[in-house]
Structure formats: structure tokens, C-alpha cells
Amino acid sequence: MKKLGFGLMRLPLTDANDPKSIDIEQMKQLVDRFMERGFTYFDTAYPYHGGASEGAFRQAVVERYPRDHYTVTTKMPCWLINSAEDMSRIFDEQLQRCGVDYFDYYWLHALNPDYTRIMDEHDGWGFIARKKAEGRIRHIGFSFHGDSQLLERLLTEHPEVEYVQLQINYLDWDSPAIEAHTCYDICTRHGKPVIVMEPVRGGALARVPQAVRDLFAAHRPDASPASWAIRYVASLPNVMVVLSGMSNMEQVDDNTGYMQNFEPLDEQEQAIVAQAAQLMREAIAIPCTACHYCTDGCPQNICIPEYFNVYNSLHMLGDTQKGNSQMYYNLHAKSHGRASDCIECGQCEAHCPQGIDIIDRLKQVSQTFDN
């Protein structure tokens, strides 16, 4: 299997303000290009696109290709589980949504201390193991957003899991908050292959400052910033698949172009990426990956990732871009709550895999754009 996977969480939309409005016809074109170039791995989840991603996968892939032509993975939304019956109901719903009889890979989704307690209490581990024994799942594992100590415990207590999905990118590799390097090493020591999510950090490593662009271009003039980020993680020996949330044909063509005949980074390129990481750390104000876990259930309908993206862009590009940034902020605010509308309920922070102090950060955004 080629190392690039299609993450179905940033699909093209017919209405930019409605995550459920997936443009199925455009998605079909992206899928066709992806598959005609020899790639087969698709990653979806119960909450992606407001719950529409799994059904979109069925329409774009399952209804148009033989079952042995693709690989599909989805995940159990741990935060929605209050009983064993909830797991059975959601799992059956996912099979129906996706239109398949079995999942190639199935994860316990976004394990952190809170979600781990839920899965321990309701035996989510036993549930996915039973579904594997029944033939409804081929391979089991979990996606992870906790610390290295929790990861060590989980892999020690549950040797039956076969894979771990981790957030790894060159910006987070040495981050004490994400512990990407340490977590990767733990998986490797336990003999668990890694599937990588957020290799481009929600697009931040594709929209790099000019200094980083110049650094990359001096070595490979035709290579996109995203290609450096994805090749970086794909070069790690224990990485099986790197997920990319592709939204348009340009991204699909770019990613599949350099991943068809993948070449790992050489020693000089590794040094260049280390330089780029330092420059990026200095440029990014808010470490948001635009996963949108924070927005589900926001009582004020605040588009938090979009506001953070506008704020980060202004921070990276300087005050000369204040007019454009203000324009984009105002456009988002026409159909969403403004940053100043935050009531500090904290539900967003409870769901943020990055551990961002969202409430305080929204205050910074509001001070910049709500004047």
C-alpha cells in the first residue's frame, strides 16, 4: 500500500458556512484522481463534516468501486458513549453510512485521559476486539491525543491493538505539549506501526511564511511546502500511512505526484526542515490544526479555527495584511458568532486535542478584529 491516505475531514463544500454541504461531484473527481494514481486508503470518522463524511465516502467510493479496490477506516466517537448499547448502535450506523460490511481499520477516536476513562468503563477495547473476531473489522487500534505516559500505559495494557494514529509533523516533533517524537518512539518500541494525522498541521505547513518558502525553494524550486511536510513524516521508518485532508484537485495532484514514487528526505533536506521548523515556531501565534472538534456544540456558533487562521495569517504576514485579514474575519462573522460573543463555557477547550487556551485566545482575536 502506498504511504498516502485521503483524510475525509476537509472536503470541498457547496456552502462554505455549512460543513455538511459536501460537494459530492467534486469529491468524486478527487477520489478518481487519487485512485487512478494507485492510492487506496481513505480515513473518515463519525463526526467529520457534521456527520456527513461517512455518507459522502459511500457515495463517492463505495457505490462506484469494487470493495477490494479501497481501504476504509473510521472511528468510535468515545465522547458520545454512555453505555455498551451506544457503541453497538453507532457502529451499526457507521456500517450503514459507509455502505460496507466491514471496516479495514477501526479506531477508538482521539484517546486522551477523559476518553480513555469512558472506553475503560464501557469496555470499548473489548467491543472492537469482538467486532474484529466477528469479521466486521480487519484491524483495530486507536487515534491518540494524550501524553506519552498515557500512551505507554495503553500499549502495555492493550497489546491486542495493531496500530496507533498520531499527530506528527515537523513543527510538533519536539513539542513538549504534543510529544510527537516521544510517542512515535513508544509505538516503535511496542512494535505498533503509526498512521500519521495532521502532517501539514491543518494547512499551516502549506501556508508558510516567505522565509520558509525561500528556504525550501533554494533546494527544490518546484516542490510545494506541503510536500516537505508530508515527506518529512513519511520518511520515518515506522510510519505506515500519512493522511492528508485534501480539498481540491491541486492538492490531490501535488500530494499524489511526489508520493507515487516516494523518496525519503536525505540528510541535507532533514537539516532544511529543522531550520523551517524554527522559523515556523517564531511565526505561528496559535497552534490550531483546524480539526473543528471545538466547534461542535458551541452555543454561540463561533467558527474558532477560521478566526485563529485569520489571526495567524496576520501574525505571519504583518500589519500590511490587516485590511485583508479584517475582511476575512468580517465575512466569517456574517454567519457565525464573533470572537467577542464567547461566553466562556469551556466546552471547546474540553475537546481541543492541542490543549489550546481557546477562551483567552479568542479574547486576543477579538481585541484585534472586533474594534
pLDDT tens per residue, range 57-69? 999 999 999 999 9
CA separation for the pair 204, 225 (Å, rounded): 10
Span 78-105, pLDDT tens digits:
999 999 999 999 999 999 999 999 999 9
Q: Report phi then psi at 74, rounded to 5.
A: -140, -175
Split at pLDDT 50, 70, 90, the class of 146 is: confident
The per-residue b/e assignment along 237-246, b for 16 or more CB within 10 angstroms, e otherwise, is: eebbbbbbbb
Whether 272 maps to a domain, the answer reads no
Name the residue range of residue 354's domain: 304-369
Quick check: helix, strand or coil at residue 370? coil
- Per residue in 260-282, pLDDT tens? 999 999 999 999 999 999 998 88
The phi and psi torsions of 297 (rounded to 5 degrees) equal 90, 5
Q: In this structure, are 337 and 191 located in the same domain? A: no
* pLDDT of 29 higher than 80: yes
Tell whether 139 and 93 lie within a shared domain.
Answer: yes
Q: Tell me whether residue 335 is in a domain.
A: yes
What pLDDT shows up at residue 318?
A: 66
Confidence of residue 126 (pLDDT cuts 50, 70, 90): very high
Last residue in a domain, options 243, 267, 291: 267
Residue closest to 141 by CA, chosen among 215, 131, 31: 131
| Confidence (pLDDT) at 176 | 75
State whether 30 and 124 are in the same domain.
Answer: yes
Does one domain contain both 241 and 106? Answer: yes
Residue 229 maps to a domain: yes
Q: Are 263 and 351 part of one and the same domain?
A: no
Rg (CA), the chain: 20
Q: What is the pLDDT of residue 317?
A: 63
**Over residues 13-21, mean pLDDT:** 93
What confidence tier does 319 reach under pLDDT thresholds 50, 70, 90? Answer: low
| The predicted structure's pLDDT at residue 367 | 94
For residue 361, pLDDT over 80 is answered with: yes
Are 316 and 263 members of one domain? no
Residues 9 and 117 in one domain: yes
Residue 254 placed within a domain: yes
pLDDT of 127 reads 98
Last residue of a domain, one of 217, 242, 267: 267
Residue 321 clears pLDDT 70, i.e. is over it: no
196/50 same-domain check:
yes
pLDDT for position 202: 79
Task: Indicate whether 282 belongs to any domain.
Answer: no
Instruction: Give the pLDDT mean for 113-138.
Output: 97
Q: Are residues 115 and 38 in the same domain?
A: yes
User: What is the Cα–Cα distance from 141 to 164, expressed in whole angstroms?
Assistant: 6
Say yes or no: 243 and 363 in one domain: no
What are the tens digits of pLDDT across the range 155-205?
Answer: 999 999 999 999 999 988 987 777 999 999 999 999 999 999 999 987 878
pLDDT in tens, 241-251: 999 999 999 99
Would you say residue 285 lies in a domain?
A: no
- The model's confidence at residue 16, banded by pLDDT at 50, 70 and 90, is confident
Q: What percent of the chain has pLDDT over 90?
A: 80
Q: Which residue has the higher pLDDT, 305 or 322?
A: 305
pLDDT the model gives residue 201: 84
CA-based nearest residue to 99, from 132, 65, 130, 127: 65
* DSSP-assigned letter for residue 62: I
223 and 128 share one domain:
yes
Query: In terms of domains, do 126 and 236 share one?
Result: yes
Q: Is 280 domain-assigned?
A: no
List of residues 6+ apart from 59 with CB closer than 8 A: 24, 27, 28
The answer to whether 61 and 70 have CB atoms below 8 angstroms apart is yes
Using one digit for the tens of pLDDT, what is the confidence trace for 282-311? 878 898 988 989 998 899 999 999 899 888
Query: How confident is the model over 207-227, as pLDDT tens digits?
Result: 888 899 999 999 999 999 999
287 inside domain? no
Please tell me the total count of domains within the chain: 2
Q: Are 201 and 246 in contact (CB under 8 A)?
A: no
Alpha helices in 83-224 (DSSP H): 84-98, 113-121, 124-133, 148-157, 180-189, 210-219
Q: What is the CATH number of the domain that holds 248?
A: 3.20.20.100
Q: Tell me which of 267, 292, 312 is where a domain ends.
A: 267
